[in-house]
Each structure stands twice: as C-alpha cells, then as structure tokens.
Amino acid sequence: MHELSLCQGIIDILETEASKQHFARVRKVRLLVGPLAGVDRATLSFGFDAVSRDTIAEGAELEFIDTPGLAWCFTCDRTVEIAHYYDPCPACGGHRLKVTGGEEFRILDLEVE
C-alpha cells in the first residue's frame, strides 16, 4: 500500500499550491499515469478518499489520463509501445528494449474553487 504515501504526497502538493495559487477547495485532480509507473489506480483512488478527509481535497475526484508505455528497440532501431516491463517488442519479439516512456506519475492540473 505505498499508494497511501503517494496520496499523502498529492495532498502535500495541493496544500502547497493552495496557498501559492489562492484556492480553497479542490474538486478534481487530473493525474498523468503511465502503465509502467507502478501505481494501481483503484488503490490510489481508495487511498485518496481516506487521506483527503478533512483537507481541501475532501471529496475531490481523481481523473486519470493515460500515456503510453514506450521503449526503444535496439534490434528494430525504433520506438515501440509496451504495456509491461516484461513485454517483448511487438515488431521483432525480442527483449532488447530500453524504456523511454510510461513511467510518468504526475499531477497535470486541478479543478479548484
């Protein structure tokens, strides 16, 4: 359940931004989450409900924005799409891959009032 500390991390960022950007409540948090980020979305949402209680984000919705898992295939000499670290290159079936995208776990923006 490292998702709980990730939720605490989200709340910390929201509270810091609340005083910088002057808002009192957060309605929605849009998160960019790659398939290789190691984050379980359902667990994160569940944890967020608990951690956000009595904060400016109480009741806020988490919206997940997808971003593809990408890797450079040294055999094919090009970027390919993967969903897991153990996936082979969809073109050549090999594993000489270097992950280049899909590990993102970032807050994009907030709906606030």
Kindly list the residues in this chain that would bind other proteins in the complex (CB under 8 A). Answer: 1-2, 4-6, 8-10, 12-13, 15-25, 27, 31, 36, 38-39, 54-56, 58-59, 84-86, 88, 95-99, 104-113
Q: Which two structure tokens, joined as six digits, stand for 10?
A: 């989200």
Least Å distance, CB 76 to other proteins, is: 14
**Position 80, amino acid:** V
The smaller minimum CB distance to other proteins, of residues 78 and 98, is found at: 98
Least Å distance, CB 57 to other proteins, is: 9
The smaller minimum CB distance to other proteins, of residues 46 and 85, is found at: 85
Residue 18: helix, strand or coil by DSSP?
helix
Q: Are 79 and 99 contacting, i.e. CB atoms less than 8 angstroms apart?
A: no
10-22 burial, b at 16+ Cβ within 10 Å, e below that, comes to bbeebeebbeeee
Least Å distance, CB 84 to other proteins, is: 6
Least Å distance, CB 42 to other proteins, is: 15
Residues 38, 35: Cα–Cα separation, whole Å: 7
